[in-house]
Structure 1
Amino acid sequence: MAEQESMASMQSAANLAWANGQADMVHSPPHYNQAGIECIDAIRAATDGGYEYYLQGNIIKYLWRYRYKNGVEDLEKAKWYLEKLIEEIENE
């Protein structure tokens, strides 16, 4: 029970940061962290060998849409995924 309350408290703090414009929507958006687990970590664990393709797909997605949706924020997201992909390749 205490763990659930702690997780709820963390999520409430993340939501408050987002509402106040203090959340980093590129590097650590609060909606991508549930129960203390980052979504990217769960995806990496679930996709194993497909993780690099996942990263590549997201790079393409954000580069494709930046002019029509979120501008520089989408370019920053593409950069974030590119940095993750480079890190993956270097650690092989």
Structure 2
Amino acid sequence: MNMNFEEDLINKPSHYHKNEIDVNGYLEKHFPKEGGYTVAEGFYIGNVIKYVSRYKNKNGLQDLEKAAANLKLLIELEKANECS
């Protein structure tokens, strides 16, 4: 059996598919088009989940900081929506 394989970093990077969980599939299932989220909300939510789920296998603390920045943007968006 040939265990040498080249990872597909474009279509299926391993850091998004750990422990049988596909981050993109999760987002598609839990945040469907008809789910009532705006594009911006979906973008921020997806980025938070993406960065937190991969931080140990990719960029460490930098990915956690990216997740925090996206969560902050989502919070600011939600506060603006409450005021309008």
TM-score, normalised to structure 1's length? 0.47
Cα distance per residue 1:10-52 (max 9 Å; x no partner) = xxxxxxxxxxxxxxxxxxxxxxxxxxxxxxxxxxxxxxx2110
Query: What SS does the corresponding residue of 1:91 show, helix, strand or coil?
Result: helix
Which protein is richer in strand relative to its size? Answer: 1
Which protein is richer in helix relative to its size? Answer: 1
Cα distance per residue 1:38-84 (max 9 Å; x no partner) = xxxxxxxxxxx211011000000000100000000000000000000
In structure 1, the partner of 2:43 is 54
Q: Report the identity percentage.
A: 45
1:69 to 58, 62, 69: 58
List gaps (5 residues or longer) in structure 1. Answer: 1-48
User: Aligned partners of 1:73, 1:50: CA distance in 2, in Å?
Assistant: 24
How many positions carry a matched residue from both structures? 44
Could you list the runs of 4 or more consecutive aligned residues of structure 1 that deviate by over 2 angstroms after TM superposition? none
AA at the equivalent of 1:86:
I
AA at the equivalent of 2:77:
E
